[in-house]
Structure 1
């Protein structure tokens, strides 16, 4: 199986804030080797990472030694990501636009495109999948459950390559959540702030219903009009 052969073993995380730390803990608990980098000297986060079984390293080490890299940075910094070094890499975009940390950015709030498409446009040659972005870090921390558990919550993912989607779906399941395919990378806009699924802490069936309702939602109508499409109004 191609997806099994390419299964993630070493997971890199760029960003060692609250989301990055929670994801590192979930991944180490699931048996992954985790390399995490913050924006400063790795020594500053080394004790915290060591306590959860992860390794604090430089961003360069994360990029060169990981099978996949999670972006848990402020979205406004996406243009600082190294294009050449990430070429060919599976990049999992867990970022969202927050005006408080990113500033007022019209380019990050343009309804004509999802923010993950902006990341993909910058990271030429990388394989970007939107995932682990719509559930709050505290819910991620508290709600992880083994596969098959009653009431297990779901995480939506969006991407253009079926193999990459299957790889990320396996990671999401290992972290403790049921994966739900939202669609191609452009569908990541259904997981962004302003959409019903953003902040969702629900089971797979409910999450799928939220995604199905997006075209007729207020946000969905705004997106359709911005993209020159006919809104699906009820």
Structure 2
């Protein structure tokens, strides 16, 4: 059973995962690119089960690691410190933020496969990339809840996906295994399973207003059966611009 969760990235999605992990009884080591001293307020808010560290220190201390960073920053992940670890990748590809990457624009690869290439000695599992930060908190439910939601995972290693499934269950979600990292495009931006099912009709607005709106919206439960249907309905798009704000 996992005892310590490492967070590389302390943005909105990383912070939401940290809060759920603390509530589930995990010890949490949070980190970012700016240094542990910038996380003092967050650690105080999270309480005694949390501490701050550098990304490499968080990677070494953790039984399981969540990389909650923008895709453009993935080469900064500490590959040596993450060797042998299961790494949950929350990143989404936004060309307007990350710059156009030919492998992704043409559909030759997926964002998670790029991260797996960088972390050659780790086991990458795509997770947490289809839900906004507030809804990740508000939709978490106990295992026996009738309105429990599911989140998709993808990965190339069965044991790593089992670890991810166990973590999701502890945090309040069922997991839907969509296959290897080559199939993780089925949950990328602009696919049926991405963000919208957990929110309903999204008002036309800018990114800041959208995020304010999500904080006032409780969210809509998405059970595993519905999520599976949405994933199966996905059609691969290439060379497009992602239109919805990032869940990173």
Q: Same fold (TM over 0.5)?
A: yes
CA contact (8 A) 2:56 2:78 kept: no
CA contact (8 A) 1:157 1:165 kept: yes
Query: Number of matched residues?
Result: 212
Aligned counterparts, 1:1-234, within 5 A: 7-53=1-47, 54-199=50-195, 200-201=197-198, 202-214=222-234, 217=235, 219=236, 222=237
**Distance in 1 between the 2:125 and 2:191 partners?**
18
**Distance in 2 between the 1:160 and 1:41 partners?**
32
Task: Specify the SS of the correspondent of 2:107.
Answer: coil
**Distance in 1 between the 2:226 and 2:38 partners?**
40
**Distance in 2 between the 1:109 and 1:152 partners?**
34
CA contact (8 A) 2:55 2:77 kept: no
**Distance in 2 between the 1:16 and 1:100 partners?**
22
RMSD (CA atoms): 1.5
Q: Match for residue 3 of structure 1? A: none
Q: Which has the higher contact order (CA 8 A, sep 6+)?
A: 2
Q: Match for residue 219 of structure 2? A: none
1:76 Cα deviation from its structure 2 partner = 0.4
Task: Specify the SS of the correspondent of 1:198.
Answer: coil
Relative distance call for 1:31 and 1:130 in structure 2 (3 A) is: same
TM-score (norm 1): 0.85
CA contact (8 A) 2:55 2:78 kept: no
1:80-138, Cα deviation, whole Å (9 max, x unpaired): 22222211111110111123432344344341211111110111111111111111112
**Distance in 2 between the 1:46 and 1:109 partners?**
39
**Distance in 2 between the 1:108 and 1:77 partners?**
16
TM-score (norm 2): 0.81
